[in-house]
Amino acid sequence: MKAIKSRIKSVESTMSITKAMELVASSKLRRAKMQEEAVKPYYKLLAETIEDIIQTTGEKNAFIRETDVSSAACYIVIAGDRGLAGGYNANLFRLVRERIKEDDCILPVGKKSVEHYEKQPYRILTTDFRIAASVAIPEAHEIGDIICKHFLSGQFGHVYLVYTEFKSMLTQEPQLRALLPLDKDMMNPDASNAMAAREKENGFTKTEKITFHTDTLYEPSPEEVLSAIIPQYVSGMIYGAVCEASASEFAARRTAMNAANKNADEMISTLTLKYNRARQTMITQEITEIIAGSNTL
């Protein structure tokens, strides 16, 4: 009986922790969502301008390659800093494991991601981004700079962003998105539909109609503008992905903690039932003993 009682106590204290975590996750989730909303117009505008330049000047750039270049890839894996979020981290790693080849490399973001890939045989670009929560705009730019530099030096021909997409409060899905090279279709003058489709896929639709300005003046030159903007676009996309991933993490944690609370509730009620039964049995036994004793007198 004492064992049951202490068990109930311990479940209750765990429950108070999971409850608190649920509340914290919900409030952080709201903030992360807001951040993500704020960054969207930024990279949308960047993408539009890049497209504009390519369409009007037919400019070629090192970032835009034929898509059939087969060389090593780099995966930017954005995971969480903490566990206790259901399958949040594990699902992400599984997705990468299915795709990755031997000579690919990884840029892990987040403590769980760094820890996971340190034990793996793949080459790691840097472990500087150990704490996903501290990746703000300057850090996203650092990541972007590193990626662009290595990409241009030809160390890898593809860059993928791996993060968890925020579908709704209840569902988050691991996503693998090609970041570089930029889509060859963007070079095709008839590809505005493809671009629009891609935008849609990216989670937003264009509200403004696409208009190409042929008489735009570029300074210093279209080429230089393009090489300056593309790294910014890359960083913007990374920052957007980090924001979305953290929103997903909090949502996943909230769901996991909610389930934990329900479980704890159920456990407490079965344990209480057990406890009451045991108590009842003891009382009954005592009464029987007393009656038996008085009968012998």
Q: Please, which residues have CB within 8 angstroms of residue 38's CB and are 6 or more apart in sequence?
A: none
Which is nearer to other proteins, 101 or 209 (by Cβ)?
A: 209
125 neighbors 74 (Cβ within 8 angstroms): yes
Q: How far is the CB of 217 from other proteins (least distance, A)?
A: 5
Which is nearer to other proteins, 14 or 49 (by Cβ)?
A: 49
Using alpha carbons, select from 143, 110, 152, 105 the residue that is nearest to residue 125.
105
- Coil vs helix vs strand at 143: helix
Which is nearer to other proteins, 26 or 227 (by Cβ)?
A: 227
- By the 10 Å C-beta count (0-12 exposed, 13-18 middle, 19+ buried), 278 is classed as middle
- In whole angstroms, give the CA distance from residue 280 to residue 278: 5
- In whole angstroms, give the CA distance from residue 255 to residue 269: 21
Structure tokens at 81: 């800093």
Q: How far is the CB of 216 from other proteins (least distance, A)?
A: 4
Q: How far is the CB of 50 from other proteins (least distance, A)?
A: 11
Which is nearer to other proteins, 93 or 239 (by Cβ)?
A: 239
Residues forming contacts to other proteins in the complex (CB under 8 A) are 35, 37-39, 41-43, 45-46, 49, 53, 126, 137-138, 140-142, 145-146, 149, 213, 215-220, 224-225, 228-229, 232, 235-236, 239-240
Which is nearer to other proteins, 174 or 236 (by Cβ)?
A: 236
Q: How far is the CB of 66 from other proteins (least distance, A)?
A: 26
160 neighbors 178 (Cβ within 8 angstroms): yes
Which is nearer to other proteins, 173 or 212 (by Cβ)?
A: 212
Q: How far is the CB of 3 from other proteins (least distance, A)?
A: 55
Q: How far is the CB of 197 from other proteins (least distance, A)?
A: 23
Q: How far is the CB of 218 from other proteins (least distance, A)?
A: 5
Which is nearer to other proteins, 220 or 293 (by Cβ)?
A: 220
Which residue is associated with the tokens 């008839």? Answer: 190
Structure tokens at 164: 């968890």
270-273 contact pairs (CB < 8 A, 24+)? 271/4, 271/7, 271/8, 271/11, 272/8
